[in-house]
Structure 1
Amino acid sequence: MPLTGRRLSAQTVTVLTALALNPQSWLYGLEIAAATGLKSGSLYPILIRLAERGLLESQWLEPGQPGRPPRHAYRVTAAGKAALRAATASRPASFKESLA
C-alpha cells in the first residue's frame, strides 16, 4: 500500500529516523522502543503499517541463546529513507533539530 501524499506522524518519523541511523542493521521492537521512547501500543502498529507500505522490511531472527524464541526484527528500506527525507523536508527546522 503506497503512501498517497499522507503526511507521516511525528511518531512515525521518529521510528523511521531511529531505523535510518543504521540502515543495514536489523533492530528488534524492544531496541526501537528504547531508541524512540514509544510504548509498544504505539510502536507496533506503526511498525506494521510501515512494513505493509514497503517502508520497512521485517523478518524473524533466530535467537543468539538456546531456549529463546525467534524475534521479529526490522530495518528501513530505500523507500522508507525516501519517505523520511520527504517528511522531514516539509517540517520546520525546530522539528528537524528535535530528531538529532
Structure 2
Amino acid sequence: MSNIWPRRSRDWLAKTFAEYVAAARGRRTTARSADENRRHQDSYMCRLSGVKMTRTLECVLRAFLQDPAAARYGYDLMKATALQSGTLYPLLARLKEGGLVDAHWETPAEEGQRPRRYYQLTAEGVRWARLELAELAQRRSRGGSGAARPAPGAI
C-alpha cells in the first residue's frame, strides 16, 4: 500500500507533532545555549522532574520541615496541610519516586489498628525542600512569579 502523503508533508507533520507533545509535557524543543546549560546545572544537583512548585507542594514541604527528622504518616500530613487524600498521596508518591521522601509501613502496636505508612524527607529531600522554599521566598520578595495574588478589589 502506497503512502498518500508526500514526504515533505509527513516530515513537517512529524516535527509539528513532536513539538506539540514536547510543549504539552513542558519540555524545551530548542537546544539551550552553553550559558543556559551551565546556569541550569550549577543551580543545584537535584531538580525533581515532573514536580512543579505549587502551593500544595509548598504546604507539604513546610509540614515536613517543621521537624525534618520525624516520620509523618499520611493522615497526620492531611491534617497538618488541610489537603485531601486524592491530592496528598499522589504528591507523596512523586516525591518518593524522586528520592526525596522515604516511606515505610509500620505494623500496629495493638490488635485492631490499621498499619500506617510513614513518610520522611531524605537528607537530599531536606536540602532540596529548603532550597526550593528559599527560591520561592526570594521570587515572592522580588515580586516575580510565585508572588501571592492581590486581594479581590485591591487593584
TM-score scaled to structure 2, two decimals?
Answer: 0.54
For the 8 Å contact 2:51–2:94, the answer to whether it is kept is no
Of 133, 137, 149, which aligns to 1:88?
A: 133
Relative contact order higher in (CA < 8 Å, ≥ 6 apart)? 1
Task: Classify the secondary structure of the residue corresponding to 1:73.
Answer: strand
Equivalent position amino acid for 1:61 in 2: E
For the 8 Å contact 1:3–1:53, the answer to whether it is kept is yes
Task: Classify the secondary structure of the residue corresponding to 1:72.
Answer: strand
Distance apart, 1:37 and its partner CA:
0.5
Does 2:81 align with 1:74? no
Equivalent position amino acid for 2:121 in 1: V
Q: How many residues align?
A: 95
Of 59, 79, 85, which aligns to 2:104?
A: 59
Identity, in percent, stands at: 35
Gap change, CA 1:5 and 1:42, over 3 Å in 2: closer
Structural mapping, 1:1-100, within 5 Å:
3-4=48-49, 7-91=52-136, 92-93=140-141
More strand as a share of residues: 1
TM-score scaled to structure 1, two decimals?
Answer: 0.81
Larger Rg: 2
Distance apart, 1:43 and its partner CA:
0.3
Equivalent position amino acid for 1:35 in 2: A
Coordinate RMSD, CA, aligned: 2.4
Divergent runs of 4+, >3 A: 4-7
The unaligned stretches of length 5 or more in structure 1 are 96-100
The unaligned stretches of length 5 or more in structure 2 are 1-46, 147-155
